[in-house]
Amino acid sequence: MSAAPYTDPIAALDLSLAISFVCIAIGIAAADFAFGINHQQMHGALESWRTQPVRTASGVAQRLKTISTIGLFVILAFIVFENNIPKIIAYFISDASEVAKIAMRRESGGSRFYFFNLLVSNVFPFFSFCCFIAIRQRSIKLQAIAWAFIVAVFVAKASTLSKAPLAIFVLQLMVVEHLRKSLDLPLGMAIRFILFCVLLFGAMVLIVIRELHGIGDVLDFLFYRIFMIANESLLEYYTAIPSVIPFGWGSKFSWLVGFLTSQPSQPTYVLVGAVHRGVEGSTSTAMFIADAWADFSWMGVVLFSLFAGFFIRLLDIQLIVKRGKTVATIAGLALGHYGIFVMLSTALQTALMTGGLVLVVPLVVALSSSLKWAPDKNNGGQDKLVPVGQV
């Protein structure tokens, strides 16, 4: 960290993490207070989720058939138009080095159209989760279309030329299958899930990074990538800011600056990488408090953490307490998990849009808008929902 001398970045980072933990908890409590939710209601909703069958609104199956058919043709059109299949094959079977594959990803990964990338990141996965649930519940007759749509989303994820989106999509399907039954995570299930994650990510690492040889190398890489880089990135931000890079005070919000100036400055993750590695092509991304610190100092850490806690609890209230176990809410929770993962690895505004956090409730409402329910004090209106088998 000699490239960015700062008086005491460790103390500032530790205090920011402590503030974030406290403020997230306060944000959760504030959401409960704002919506009149108490511990008994939340506990009752969790118990009801465990005992009730998956429910849905009339018309959801037909909507999923229509959406999956349209989505399938849209994805296929982009795959053919952008010649993605040869790129995917070349990336995953190539013996090129990790650096060379990073260059391939930056040059050819994803689509040239931002809106399509956004759909692949959150909207298409949401509806693929719905299709998967409906297939498992045997409420969609055209299972071939639904499966084809899920596979198309998988291919679209692969077209990003990155190992993480593929693995995470598979894990999300596992989460969806578990959420069909319960929100609990027993120790045995947690251990099996962790072991599967290690196997899945290990296989992806061996396929993509050919320099690694043997289980030991793979485990070392996974440990470093999962646990160490997250800490290193945070430290890079707190060492560079404000020692070398001044606080942005909103100037790094590209979507905001775009309205105010025709030439927005480079994003923080590029500038921080340039400070520590001397080249602008290297990037550093860290959990949301890093960007909050970069833009608004201590005030950003407090406010962003409060908002994060409040918003995540809002999803719990809207999906678990007020709507219960439906096809749409299960898919919404799975998408919300991905949004939280993005929030723990990049900026909060990125998690809201690219991670799909801000889209969770609208997508759930849009899919199940015909759902007629009246909240009940004991079970949050679970008795008013229509079982999938009756659709």
The partner residues of 387 in beta bridges, in order of sequence, read 55
pLDDT in tens, 133-146: 988 887 667 788 99
pLDDT in tens, 329-346: 999 999 999 999 999 988
Q: pLDDT band at 147, cuts 50/70/90?
A: very high
pLDDT at residue 281 in the model: 66
Both structure tokens of 57: 């609104």
Q: Is the dihedral of CA 44, 46, 51, 55 positive or negative?
A: positive
pLDDT at residue 284 in the model: 75
The partner residues of 326 in beta bridges, in order of sequence, read 55
Q: What angle do CA 327, 190, 311 make, to 5 degrees?
A: 50
Mean of all residue pLDDT scores within the chain: 84
CA distance 377 to 374: 10
pLDDT at residue 250 in the model: 76
DSSP 141: S
pLDDT in tens, 264-304: 567 888 888 888 887 766 777 889 999 999 999 999 999 99
pLDDT in tens, 109-128: 888 898 999 999 999 999 99
pLDDT at residue 252 in the model: 67
What's CA 252's distance to the chain center, in Å?
22
H or E stretch at 65: helix 60-81
Residue 119 burial by Cβ neighbours in a 10 Å radius (0-12, 13-18, 19+): buried
Backbone angles phi, psi at 326, to 5 degrees: -125, 170
181: three-class secondary structure by DSSP: coil
Cβ distance 146 to 131 under 8 Å?
A: yes
What's CA 275's distance to the chain center, in Å?
28
Would you list the domain boundaries of the chain? Answer: 9-368
Considering only residues 244 and 378, tell me which one the structure prediction assigns the higher pLDDT. Answer: 244
CA distance 272 to 4: 10
Alpha-helical runs (H) found in 241-371? 254-260, 268-277, 288-316, 327-343, 348-353, 360-367
Number of H helices, E strands in the chain: 18, 2
Both structure tokens of 8: 């005491």
CA distance 212 to 371: 51
Length of the chain: 391
H or E stretch at 387: strand 386-387
| Amino acid identity for residue 248 in this structure | G
Extended beta strands in the chain, E state? 55-56, 386-387
pLDDT at residue 377 in the model: 44
| Amino acid identity for residue 37 in this structure | I
